[in-house]
């Protein structure tokens, strides 16, 4: 009886990961979940890497133009320091954070915080990207969203880079990337 009462009074935290290719709606889904939490009068704090300045220096912005205020941070350890007295933490473009991000998210969840993370699960070469695979492994909930292949219309599997750059991080839009299915991605690599 004591354990049941003690357990029910503790806040329960968890980790949610939203992943997929570019143009699949990851940020749109993150913003939707965060705005619902705000509507429910929960205290929400949103973070993004300082490197992500494509649409706005401070806001998290989806390709559809939906936006929510955020705090840009240079490393995942800053999130742990800044996420005080909150119910929900949102993190966008998580693939650009360091390998400590899973530890940071676990620490937040153990504090009773709901942690919602969005990011690319694979880089432009089709390999696992940054801390996302480790986050997927320790998350209670994983949502993989798909874009549409720009060449054949099937479900996209990866963000294919259309430029010659071999830098792992290259911020871009449809001018630099296109979502492709597995077959079209393999054909593009063979060209």
Active site residues: 93
Written as six digits, the tokens of 12 are 């329960």
Cβ contacts of residue 166 below 8 Å, gap of 6+? none
Nearest to 147 by CA among 185, 182, 184, 180: 180
C-alpha distances (whole Å) from 98 to each of 17, 63, 102, 177 are 16, 24, 9, 23
- Residue 6: exposure state from Cβ atoms within 10 A (0-12, 13-18, ≥19): exposed
């Amino acid at each position: 009886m004591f354990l049941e009462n003690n357990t029910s009074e503790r806040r329960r935290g968890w980790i949610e990961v939203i992943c997929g290719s570019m143009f699949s709606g990851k940020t749109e889904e993150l913003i939707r979940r965060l705005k619902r939490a705000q509507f429910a009068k929960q205290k929400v704090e949103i973070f993004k890497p300082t490197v992500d300045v494509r649409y706005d220096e401070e806001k998290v912005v989806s390709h559809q133009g939906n936006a929510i205020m955020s705090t840009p941070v240079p490393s995942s350890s800053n999130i742990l320091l800044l996420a005080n007295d909150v119910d929900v933490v949102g993190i966008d473009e998580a693939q650009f954070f360091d390998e400590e991000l899973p530890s940071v998210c676990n620490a937040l969840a153990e504090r009773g915080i709901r942690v919602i993370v969005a990011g690319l699960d694979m880089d432009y070469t089709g390999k696992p990207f940054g801390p996302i695979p480790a986050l997927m492994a320790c998350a209670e909930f994983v949502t993989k969203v798909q874009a549409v292949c720009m060449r054949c219309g099937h479900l996209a599997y990866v963000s294919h880079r259309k430029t010659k750059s071999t830098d792992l991080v290259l911020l871009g839009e449809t001018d630099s990337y296109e979502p492709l299915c597995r077959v079209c991605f393999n054909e593009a690599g063979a060209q």
